Structure 1
Amino acid sequence: MARIFDVVEHADEMRDEIVHRFPETGSGDFRIGSQVIVREAQSAVFFRDGKALDSFGPGRHTITTANIPLLIDLVGKAFGDRTPFTAEVYFVSMREFADEKWGTPQPILVRNPGMGLGVALLQGFGTYSFQISDPQQFVTQIVGATGAYATRDIHSRLRSMLLSKLQDLLGETTDAKNVADLIGLVEEMGAGVRAKAQDDFKAIGMTLKSFYIESLKPSDKSVEELRAMGMLDMDTYTRLQAADAMRDAAQNPAGGAGLTAGIGAGMGIGSAIQDALRQTGEGGADAPAGAPSAEGPPPVMTPSEAAAYLKVAEEDVIAAIKAGDIKAKKIGKAYRISREAIDDFLSG
């Protein structure tokens, strides 16, 4: 004989549990007069045959056809006070789930106008909090027939949603601001992500209560790590290795700032990606603006021309000259660099 549940409750505090199904498997037998006890910060949703019947807030509730009128339609007109019916009850935690972690698993490419190569790779991490706003919708859209559903079960989905909005916002913001300015706007950026993500959260019965960026900075991934992640082709990899060698040479005790200063820590990756983006937009037919022609660089270059050829900042070339890493002739206050000197530097 099937057991009829006269009292249904879930006394657990549900610290990490968002939803608990009663019974955990199959359906339970209930009848008119059965009691449903809903704790503070809980909501109880009755389901039958995959359809939500009704929801109950905190308190003790007695099941009647008045508070679950759909029972008559689903069970039939002959439904009586002692007639058992099958259903499932989903207890949903309505409290705010705070201090959830997020982070960028891979660097995010952003434009960096007016600085270095014009692009940068950013990584960040922080916390967010959420709350269930529509228990019926959340159970229907996300939980299904699962016996229990915890924060860890939805973490990956929420993180993907948030990172997508962060990437969109970074793309919009860096069109007008450089990365250095952007890093000082983490509070505004957090509010922007929260606003952008609300519709997506609402669609699954949730509210994003907060989104905080604790750190946002240029990536410190090495060239080898970025290549292993599939973010570098061989040409990019070779050029960045040369830039790293230039940086290391300029950082010796006799040297000044490295040639890749302001490009390193994730920024140097931008060169080839920038070229690829430009070629995609132009069909790959024309050489990038400011790049040397098919004949190569001129036999004698100014520091500015050498910087354009090497895809670095002019001040970095001058720093390498002063460090003795690039041979150049000084005429008055100006430097002139031979193409052979640049080739010797890159091959060294």
Structure 2
Amino acid sequence: MGLFSFIKGQFIEVIEWVENTDSLVYHFPAYDHAIKMGAQLTVREGQAAVFLNEGTVADVFGPGRYELHTQNMPVLTALKSWKFDFNSPFKADVYFMNTTIQTDQKWGTSNPVMMRDQEFGIVRARGFGNYSFKIKDPALFMREILGSQESYSPAQLNGFFKTMIVSGLSDLLAESSIPVIDLAMHYDELSEQAAAKLEPKFGAMGLALAGFVIENISLPEEVERVIDRKSSMNITGNLDQYLKFQTAESIREAANNPGGGLAGAGAGLGAGMAMGQMVNQMMSAPGAKPPEPPAKETEPAKAEAVLCQQCGHGLKAEDKFCVECGTARPERRFCSECGNPLAAGAKFCSSCGTKA
């Protein structure tokens, strides 16, 4: 080290951290790791100062201004028996830690998470969101995470946190048994439950989980297409509105397809409307059979039923005698004026009124 550094190290230090960085930790560069008794320590709000003696955490100072003496360093005093009332410098390292909340830390699933859904079976889901944390126990964070590193940034923790968050969230989703379609309405509840599940793991490293948010849990495209088709089926439950929609779509397609013309559109529209009416009839009467088409008539018109004059029994067209009493079939009569067939026993023509 240079002469200037040596001379500077003989004066009483002002130990503080004023640099504006994204680092969580700042190692104060004391000359030869020697700190004079009576040195002025300034710890600002949102900071904590950790003193290390020969690699061991000795004291932790919160926000405030301190003049280093044995009276305000009882732990460090107990570590060593200072015979000269600290007139000589002692070896120590000072680490400042940022205890403010580190916000907008991103998390996301690098690979899909397998889930079992009651309706769709096994599906693959992806999720993402953000979280925030802060250093709660500087001494524990020093022992578990920092070690002897000069600085530490939130980015160095993100990889480990993502794995821990995805693992905990996957376990939570499996235990909740919430249908994938209803996940969106449970984001707040799942976020709170995930935070409670992850908090002990953060606490074991001297950290506190200040917030956890699930922004979205998305499904594969094929599952989303099935959901879209099911939504379309639910919408088309009103066939009247569906037919109106189909009519508008057919007109639009005909306008965009000059080669097909309105004739093709009309034919397709007519077939669609006929099919829609048939389906509508089937759906309006559950369990009812669709109406049968009318039978084709092979004769121009069926003759009026003929009754036996003796017993009144109905006679078929091929019967010459009554099957009940054996009376001969009455001869068919016609009106002499208009030629209209006369019913058996009729005294006047039903068409023109002429006497039979």
TM-score by length of 2: 0.58
Q: For residues 279-304 of structure 1, what are the alpha-carbon distances to aligned partners after superposition, in whole Å with 9 as ceiling and x for unaligned?
A: xxxxxxxxxxxxxxxxxxxxxxxxxx
For residues 25-70 of structure 1, give each alpha carbon's deviation from its aligned partner in whole angstroms, at most 9, with x where no partner exists.
x962112201111122111110112211111111211111122123
* 1:261-340 correspondence to structure 2 within 5 Å: 261-262=226-227
| Secondary structure of residue in 2 paired with 1:137 | helix
Confirm whether residue 21 of structure 1 aligns to residue 22 of structure 2.
Answer: no
Quickly say closer, same or farther: Cα 1:112–1:32, change in 2 above 3 A. Answer: same
The AA in structure 2 aligned to 1:36 is L
CA positional deviation for 1:79: 4.2
Which runs of 5 or more residues in structure 2 are unaligned?
230-288, 291-356
Which residue of structure 1 aligns with residue 66 of structure 2? 61
User: How many Å separate the matches in 2 of 1:138 and 1:85?
Assistant: 24
CA drift at 1:105:
0.4
Query: What do the CA deviations read for 1:97-132 (whole angstroms, capped 9, x no partner)?
Result: 11111111000111101x13x111110111111111
Pair 1:9 & 2:12 matched: no
Q: Would the alpha carbon gap of residues 178 and 59 (structure 1) be closer, same or farther in structure 2, given more than 3 Å must change? A: same
Contact 1:45 1:89 in 2 (8 A): yes
Partner residue of 1:100? Answer: 105
Aligned counterpart, 2:117: 112
Q: Which residue matches 1:186?
A: 187
Q: Find 1:78's aligned residue among 70, 75, 83.
A: 83
Q: What amino acid is aligned across from residue 19 of structure 2 in structure 1?
A: D
Alpha-carbon contact 2:53-2:76 (below 8 Å) kept: no
Does the 8 Å CA contact 1:19/1:150 hold for their aligned counterparts? yes
CA distance in 2, matches of 1:195, 1:36: 37
Partner of 1:300 in structure 2? none
Kept in 2: contact 1:72–1:79 (CA 8 A): no
Residue 295 of structure 1: aligned partner: none
Aligned-partner SS, 1:172? helix
Determine the C-alpha separation between the residues in 2 that align with 1:38 and 1:143: 19
Equivalent-residue separation in structure 2 for 1:263 and 1:48 (angstroms): 65
Q: 2-side partners of 1:157 and 1:78: how far apart?
A: 46
Gap change, CA 1:121 and 1:94, over 3 Å in 2: same
**Aligned position for 2:203:** 202
Letter in 2 for 1:39: R
Residue 44 of structure 1 contacts residue 56 of structure 1 at CA under 8 Å; is this kept in 2?
yes
Aligned equivalents of 1:46, 1:27: Cα separation in 2? 15
1:156 to 159, 167, 177: 159
User: Aligned partners of 1:62, 1:190: CA distance in 2, in Å?
Assistant: 45
Unaligned runs of 5+ in 1: 221-243, 248-257, 265-331, 334-348
Write the deviation string for residues 193-212 of structure 1: whole angstroms up to 9, x where unpaired: 10000101111111101111
1:136-163 Cα offsets, whole Å, 9 max, x none, are 1111110111111111111111222211
Question: What amino acid sits opposite 2:194 in the alignment?
Answer: V
Distance 2:183 2:168 in 1: 16
Residues 45, 52 of structure 1: 8 Å contact kept: yes
More RCO (CA 8 Å, sep 6+): 1
Q: 2:130 aligns with which of 127, 146, 155?
A: 127
Distance verdict in 2 for CA 1:102–1:191, change over 3 Å:
same
Mapped to 2, the partners of 1:29 and 1:190 lie a distance apart of 48
Contact 2:59/2:76 (<8 A) preserved? no
SS in structure 1 opposite 2:72? coil
Q: Structure 1 length as normaliser, TM-score?
A: 0.59
Equivalenced residue count is 224
Distance 1:83 1:75, change over 3 A: farther
Which residue number corresponds to residue 136 of structure 1? 139
Output the CA distance in 2 between the equivalents of 1:30 and 1:47: 11
Tell me how far apart the structure 1 counterparts of residues 72 and 164 of structure 2 sit (CA, whole Å).
36
Q: Is the 8 A contact 1:37 1:60 kept in 2?
A: yes
Aligned amino acid, residue 127 of structure 2 = G
Alignment of 1:23-62 (within 5 A): 23=29, 28-62=33-67
Instruction: Give the conservation status (yes or no) of the 8 Å contact 1:183–1:217.
Output: no
Which residue is equivalent to 1:268? none
Aligned partner of residue 125 in structure 2, secondary structure? strand
Instruction: Note closer, same or farther for the CA distance 1:43–1:191 as it changes in structure 2 (3 Å cut).
Output: same
Q: Which residue identity lines up with residue 17 of structure 1 in the other structure?
A: S
Q: Which residue of 1 aligns with 2:317?
A: none
Select the structure of larger CA radius of gyration: 2
**Partner secondary structure for residue 149 of structure 1:** coil
